[in-house]
Structure 1
């Protein structure tokens, strides 16, 4: 029997609800597939910060490295500034393990209504590939005259040839593997950002020359936002910098029905470190503790995790169960127009796994 070790980081808010739901699904799917999954939960996050003054302990990466993969719920608390929670937990994991690919699929499932008119199930099927370790989120800069009337804040973006080339190349390889529209759209703003984005554009052209079978387009980020609404069905793989990919992937989630259905993978394609899988939706403190959060994004993230770990049948069975629940339309949370609880939806997915 194959054995896999999964680190669980429920984190904050509804992460404490959706990660246990995904664990139940993984356990049942693993039992059916003959895969033994062991779990170790780490109670790091905002509560840990209130106790210890830090989001996670100093040896966190060493402890996580002992596992095959990581499933994270959410990071964020209304009483802690977001830059502290994010830079105290999620970003150090991404950078420390060099998880330079953030892959966020967006698919319009049967039974889910897009806010855009006229789109049938499957018509919108894209993946936003976001550079995950540099760009606008490098957090290089500082304050001058801090908290004084003359205060100045300097925020520097960092774009390297190495970082741009490897994420762009991953996007082209993904377009080949998906074998859908075989198209890659690059997101830029080189008309206003004359250094980092100009480098990005130049590397995109260089890499695209090695993939003559893949159609390409380059869009300014404002035009891309417009076209995600105007013609979302035209996109296949979208590659973007850290900031642009972050924003556009939320938009792609909404045009396919709900951010509660949006999973993501933080990947090291070389597999030198455990990759991290998470929902896109965040900690949602307004509904935390009420038992009404949508667990499907986290369950779909778990499906992505199993595919990455070499268990495509488990991945397909989990996603198939989610598809069945959505198509049935009887057990849905409020974000999808229903009244069901987190437990109701989890039970429905488990029933379809059977």
Structure 2
């Protein structure tokens, strides 16, 4: 047996539990084929656990998570709790506490998936991809602000160091992919954060450090609507943006490319512990039906394997998913796909077993 990776597994609530269970089955098989293994520590934290114990995520648990090679995360959220309470207390605490400043969210076209963007732009190839690099620990989500009962304020706060490191990652990703890089922000309104900080830093970095990368700025509202709908580039490209804007645009790109059931994401700290999760929520209404799609969670596992340096295993897992999709076995990528969850996993596992390395 080769390397053993220490995984912290946090299934969370409702369908988070269901999709992570399937993801772990697939990861176990792919690890066996490529000669490595996972040592799994299961963490029960989520809304249900909070209701039972009164604990969201303690500092000691956060410290434990920091000691793992990676975190597999499902989804958190519970209808009996105040909206956002468990998300902020667990998910955001992990992201901020472990300084996972890169939120990577790729959206890719797959043969066999009925993606709405195909109807808008029928000429796009099956491997067409928009990769969003979202800054993950700054901006409005820092929680700097106040409310006195009459006036509320929320600060979009970024240090130059926070902006510099996410821009550098985005430039290097676009360079390695050979793709255009677009900064999506709002310089015509956000005078300080966008017009005086993000955009000038983006342009200066491109000219001085990454002149080989084709790069441009676009207003985020134009990027979110007219560009994606009416004038999308014909070649795959990378978007870099701030925390809140990235949160919004990635839900849109996921929907255009097939639905939340195919949206994978990675919360990355290049020098620490990273976390991998589907972008969908806990969806209590779909829990227990046995038809939620595990594909987003499994594709998040692909991102994890890449991050761990298991490139061959990641490639084989993604190709196995792609081949299942090409056959039309999982045609619907809304969260509740209509195809039995365990059957979807079985299709993928069968493909893994029969595909040669």
Does the residue aligned with 2:147 lie in a helix, a strand or coil? strand
- Answer whether contact 2:258 2:332 (CA < 8 A) is retained: no
- Answer whether contact 2:291 2:337 (CA < 8 A) is retained: no
1:208 aligns with 2:206: yes
What's the TM-score, normalizing by structure 1? 0.93
Match of residue 148 from structure 1 = none
Question: 1:182-331 counterparts in 2 under 5 A?
Answer: 182-198=179-195, 199-209=197-207, 210-226=209-225, 227-234=227-234, 235-269=236-270, 271=271, 273-331=272-330
Q: 1:204 to 1:334 in 2, by over 3 A?
A: closer
Report the Cα offset of residue 172 of structure 1: 0.5
Report the Cα offset of residue 83 of structure 1: 2.5
- Answer whether contact 2:99 2:137 (CA < 8 A) is retained: yes
Mean CA deviation greater in 4-13 or 110-119: 110-119
Match of residue 349 from structure 2 = 350
Distance 1:159 1:334 in 2: 35
Q: 1:277 to 1:338 in 2, by over 3 A?
A: closer
Report the Cα offset of residue 95 of structure 1: 1.0
1:165 aligns with 2:167: no
Distance 2:131 2:114 in 1: 19
Q: 1:337 to 1:246 in 2, by over 3 A?
A: closer
Distance 1:127 1:330 in 2: 25
Does the residue aligned with 1:286 lie in a helix, a strand or coil? helix
- Answer whether contact 2:260 2:335 (CA < 8 A) is retained: no
Gaps of 5+ in 1: 146-150
Mean CA deviation greater in 26-35 or 220-229: 220-229
Distance 2:11 2:95 in 1: 16
Does the residue aligned with 1:321 lie in a helix, a strand or coil? helix
Match of residue 10 from structure 1 = 11
State the number of aligned residues.
345
Report the Cα offset of residue 336 of structure 1: 8.6
What's the TM-score, normalizing by structure 2? 0.93
Gaps of 5+ in 2: none
Does the residue aligned with 1:191 lie in a helix, a strand or coil? coil
Distance 1:328 1:338 in 2: 16
RMSD of aligned residue pairs (Cα, Å):
1.6
Q: 1:108 to 1:344 in 2, by over 3 A?
A: same
- Answer whether contact 1:77 1:285 (CA < 8 A) is retained: yes
Match of residue 39 from structure 1 = 40
Distance 1:164 1:283 in 2: 31
Match of residue 335 from structure 1 = 334
Question: 1:69-84 counterparts in 2 under 5 A?
Answer: 69-84=70-85
Question: 1:17-28 counterparts in 2 under 5 A?
Answer: 17-28=18-29
Report the Cα offset of residue 52 of structure 1: 2.6
Q: 1:247 to 1:345 in 2, by over 3 A?
A: same
Q: 1:238 to 1:331 in 2, by over 3 A?
A: closer
Q: 1:281 to 1:337 in 2, by over 3 A?
A: closer
Report the Cα offset of residue 309 of structure 1: 0.4
Report the Cα offset of residue 133 of structure 1: 0.5
- Answer whether contact 1:277 1:305 (CA < 8 A) is retained: yes
